[in-house]
Amino acid sequence: MLGTMFDVDDSVKEIITWIQANGGYEKNALYVTADHDHYLTLMDQFPEALANFIIAGESHNITPENNSNVNPMSAAVFAGRHEDDSQTQVEHIADFTSWTAEDIEAVGHFWGARESGGNGWGSHSTRPVPINYGGDDGCIEMLTGTGFQVLGRQVEGLPGKIDQMHLHACMLKNLFGLATAKVPAFPEGVCSNTAVDFDEGTVGVLATVFNAEEVISGLTQYKNEGIYIGSTTALIAEAADASATGAPIIDGRSGDIDFAFGPLKPLATVGERSVCDASLGKKIVGVPDGLGAYLIDDETVRVVVQSESYGPLRYES
């Protein structure tokens, strides 16, 4: 338990360090929370028991050695105990736990309801869990206490509380730029089209929390401002072996481009999407192969490429 808490703390610190080095909270959003609470009771002797374990270098013993690593509640349900009214729920769970009364006294804590056996950690509680966040841009505050729909049913909100539905909506808002006021900019000669049709089911789900017009506006902006065809200018190809020339190998930058027979210009890169009428939103995927080119007229060369994206993915493309 302690090791897991330290690992989570270290992980969050690493994420925060990355955010600080990559645009801060003006360009990033971070949400730290949990999916549910557990019934964890810390007894009066817990601080002393924990301190003694740490001093002795035995902090791992804060969990008794005979812990079964089995979810007692799930085990009870699989055994059909949820249909047996001869005992209380707590008594049923206690039949599948492995901690003794001596174990509980020694470690100074227990999981689950009292008398459920000590390691009834499958007993989730309804206690709200805290959330810490940065870069949210007011989304959490806006949705606090509001209701939402699930499978066509209205769920009422609670004052001062949010649901995972709200959190998910705020993550989508920050990830895709929903409901922002940025105006898409396109370089000269690049197609632009904002009349986009989206899957009604997807829009309907997102619109359970956000206004539908804002959802469509945000998705349209995301599609238009995404990595469009031609926006990648760095070259994958190199004029020589980078290990021999010492050219830097950095994502988003060209390496050695001193080609013997003239410069190269990237036309399209895997992952870029079209913003032209005939193929709006379609993305180049797979591994480009079977390249070819031919003249349409004196000024136009048509490039043909087969994009291989079938079969299992054994490497990044």
Please name which of 117, 90, 105 lies closest in space to residue 46, comparing C-alpha atoms: 105
Residues 102 and 149 in one domain: no
Cβ atoms of residues 224 and 244 within 8 Å: no
What is the distance between the alpha carbons of residues 291 and 296, in angstroms, rounded to a whole number? 16
Average pLDDT along the chain, 317 residues, taken 10 residues at a time = 81 93 89 88 93 91 86 88 90 89 93 84 81 89 85 85 88 66 44 49 58 63 64 80 75 80 82 73 77 83 78 50
Kindly state whether residue 286 falls inside one of the protein's structural domains. Answer: no
Same domain, 189 and 260: no
Kindly state whether residue 164 falls inside one of the protein's structural domains. Answer: yes
Q: Are residues 215 and 176 in the same domain?
A: yes
Q: Are 286 and 306 in contact (CB under 8 A)?
A: no
Question: What residue type is 202 in one-letter code?
Answer: T
**pLDDT given at position 194:** 41
Q: Are residues 52 and 110 in the same domain?
A: yes
Instruction: Give the Å distances, CA to CA, from 221 to 97, 174, 185, 217.
Output: 54, 13, 10, 6
Residue 283: inside a domain, yes or no?
Answer: no
SS (H, E, C) the chain: CHHHHHHHHHHHHHHHHHHHHCCHHHHCCEEECCCCEECEEECCCHHHHHHHHHHCCCHHHHCCCCCCCCCHHHHHHHCCHHHCCCCCHHHHHHCCCCCCHHHHHHHCEEECCCCCCCECCCCEECCCCCCEEECCCCHHHHHCCCCEEECCEEECCCCCCCCHHHHHHHHHHHHHCCCCCCCCCCCCCCCCCCCCCCCHHHHHHHCCCCCHHHHHHHHHHHHHHCCECCCCCCCCCCCCCHHHHCCCCCCCCCCCCCCCCCCCCCCCCCCCECCCHHHCCCECCCEEEEEEEEEEECCEEEEEEEEECCCCCCCCC
Residues 144 and 31: their CA atoms lie apart, in Å, by 15
**The tokens of 100 are what?**
């003794």
> Do residue 187 and residue 240 come from a single domain?
no
The answer to whether residue 208 sits within a structural domain is yes
Q: Which domain holds residue 178?
A: 132-225
Note whether 139 and 212 are same-domain residues.
yes
* Residue 303 belongs to some domain of the structure: no
In a domain, 113, yes or no: yes
The half-sphere exposure of 41 on its side-chain side, counting CA atoms within 13 A, is: 16
| Structure token pair of residue 251 | 């994502």
**CA–CA dist 266, 3 (Å, integer):** 49
The domain total for the chain is 3
Residues 6+ apart with CB under 8 A from 191: 274, 275, 276, 277
Within the chain, what is the greatest distance between any pair of CA atoms? 90
In a domain, 179, yes or no: yes
Say whether both 106 and 180 belong to one domain: no
Q: Is residue 313 part of a domain?
A: no
113 and 91 assigned to the same domain:
yes
The last residue of one of the domains, among 125, 151, 172, is 125
Looking at 88, 108, 125, which one is the last position of a domain? Answer: 125
Number of C-beta neighbours around residue 193 at 10 A: 15
